[in-house]
Amino acid sequence: MTEEFNESMINEVEEGDKVKGTVQQIEDKHVVVHIEGGKFDGIIPISQLSTQHIENANEVVNIGDEIEAFVTKIEQNEESGHYILSKRKLDENLSYEKLQTILDNNETIDAEVTEVVKGGLVVDAGMRGFIPASLISVDYIEDFSDYLGKVLTLKVEELDQANNRVILSHKKVEQETLSTKKDEIMNNISQGDVIEGKVARIANFGAFIDLGGVDGLVHVSELSHDHVKSPEEVVKVGDVVKVKVRAVDREAERISLSIKDTLPSPFEVIDEKFSVGDTVTGKVVRLAQFGAFVEIAPGLQGLVHISQISHEHIGNPDEVLQRGQEVQVKILSIDKEEERISLSIKETIEQVNDFDESYLNQSDSDDDNPTLGDVFGDKLKNFKL
């Protein structure tokens, strides 16, 4: 009778069962739990106490706490016995069920970053989850240490309970957020708007400006009123700049921007630097058949008409000028409305005559005023009427 009774009591709790108990004792490497309706107490090794790595059991439980766990093994002898329990396995099962629901419904989960490891981040998602480096952010992240302790909103990328594998993505959340912002910006932005953005990247043809979810392009010709050879001369990655929207193509999702249009035109402030009649130094920037364009200040170019290049007659400006040459010019006129400047090189050069001016100062004489006789001589003597 006694043996049958003891056997029936032992069979009340079996391996694989889920049991409930109260924490009675906390040791360095395990926890003792009183099992409701069980013949023995339960022991939870520290490795089976949490889905996260812990050093001490009292990091996650206190005496008197109620705990549910799976029975993984029953150890007994003639006098006593105990159940080996796993709270971790139970928590993992519950977490997998929760994560599977989140994955099926395309929802998100918030999880704290508990470790920074080679190749990514470890998070507490109810169990140990991993975010590979490639799924952390849409931006390039050089140092992951700043993420430690942060709570991230994540998407479930992959679940494999058999191999205890949980892969999560923060990048996908960022992409969806950026996509929503991009749609808002594309629907609300208009030609002529002046807004702020951040220089995201630079190419040889211009700079891409992040407007808060969508990039717009400032062509190199729109970076400055001055001539720009390379965008790096004007901006660098990370700069916050003011831009004006020149064009919006919603179908192609393209936005053309200008920094130049937000800056004062050099002609607006030309009166502060130059006046008609001034003689200044400039540089020949372009030659045409009808004249030469000379830059007298960044963004300020004037035309030296071919007739104003030299006192001598020339057929083409390149006979006396070349691109890049520095020249002295006189400002003949300034038209601020039409943004035109007329210049003259000729008027800065003193005219030098190519003949002997002493002839102009000699007084009249008989030699200077010949008669008909002087011209025709003896021929008139033989002439008869």
pLDDT band at 211 (very low <50, low <70, confident <90, very high): very high
Give the residue-averaged pLDDT of 249-256.
91
**Given this chain, do its domains 106-174 and 189-262 carry the same CATH topology?**
yes
What integer best gives the mean pLDDT of the chain? 87
Q: Which of 79-88, 182-191, 199-208 has the highest mean pLDDT?
A: 199-208
- Does the pLDDT at position 25 exceed 50? yes
Q: Exposure pattern of 333-364 as b/e (b: 16+ CB <10 Å)?
A: ebeeeeeebbbbbbbeeeeeeeeeeeeeeeee
Please report the pLDDT score of residue 362 as a whole number.
53
pLDDT band at 50 (very low <50, low <70, confident <90, very high): confident
β-bridge partners, 304? 292, 343
pLDDT band at 15 (very low <50, low <70, confident <90, very high): confident
Number of Cβ atoms within 10 Å of the Cβ of 230: 10
Separation of alpha carbons 178 and 207, rounded Å: 20
DSSP string, 77-129: -SS-EEEEEEHHHHHHHHHHHHHHHHHHTT-EEEEEEEEEETTEEEEESSSEE
Domain residue ranges of the chain, discontinuous segments joined by +: 21-87, 106-174, 189-262, 270-348
Please report the pLDDT score of residue 232 as a whole number.
94
pLDDT band at 383 (very low <50, low <70, confident <90, very high): very low
- Does the pLDDT at position 314 exceed 70? yes
β-bridge partners, 253? none
316 closest CA partner among 329, 306, 305: 306
User: What is the DSSP pairing of strand 41-45 with strand 81-86?
Assistant: parallel
Please report the pLDDT score of residue 374 as a whole number.
52
pLDDT band at 59 (very low <50, low <70, confident <90, very high): confident
> What is the separation, in whole angstroms, between the first and last Cα of the chain?
186
pLDDT band at 202 (very low <50, low <70, confident <90, very high): very high
Please report the pLDDT score of residue 178 as a whole number.
86
- Does the pLDDT at position 30 exceed 70? yes
Fold of 189-262: OB fold (Dihydrolipoamide Acetyltransferase, E2P) (2.40.50)
Contacts of 224 (CB under 8 A, 6+ apart): 234, 259, 260, 263, 298, 299
**HEC per residue, 180-206:** HHHHHHHHHCCCCCEEEEEEEEEECCE
Are the C-beta atoms of 173 and 108 separated by less than 8 Å? yes
- Does the pLDDT at position 115 exceed 90? yes
pLDDT band at 283 (very low <50, low <70, confident <90, very high): very high
Give the residue-averaged pLDDT of 51-64.
85
238: left (phi over 0), alpha (psi -120 to 50) or beta: left
pLDDT in tens, 163-184: 889 999 999 999 999 888 888 9
- Does the pLDDT at position 4 exceed 50? no
Domain 21-87: CATH architecture, name and number where available: Beta Barrel (2.40)
325: left (phi over 0), alpha (psi -120 to 50) or beta: beta
pLDDT band at 371 (very low <50, low <70, confident <90, very high): low
- Does the pLDDT at position 360 exceed 80? no
**186 alpha-carbon distance from chain centroid:** 18
- Helix ranges restricted to H, the chain: 2-10, 87-104, 171-188, 358-361, 372-376
109 closest CA partner among 119, 95, 120: 95
Please report the pLDDT score of residue 52 as a whole number.
76
164: left (phi over 0), alpha (psi -120 to 50) or beta: left
Fold of 106-174: OB fold (Dihydrolipoamide Acetyltransferase, E2P) (2.40.50)
- Does the pLDDT at position 289 exceed 60? yes
pLDDT band at 370 (very low <50, low <70, confident <90, very high): low
- Does the pLDDT at position 8 exceed 70? no
CATH 2.60.40.2220 correct for 270-348:
no
Are the C-beta atoms of 132 and 76 separated by less than 8 Å? no
Give the residue-averaged pLDDT of 239-252.
93
Please report the pLDDT score of residue 262 as a whole number.
93
- Does the pLDDT at position 367 exceed 60? no
Residue 13 gets which letter from DSSP?
S
Burial of 193 (0-12, 13-18, 19+ CB in 10 A): middle
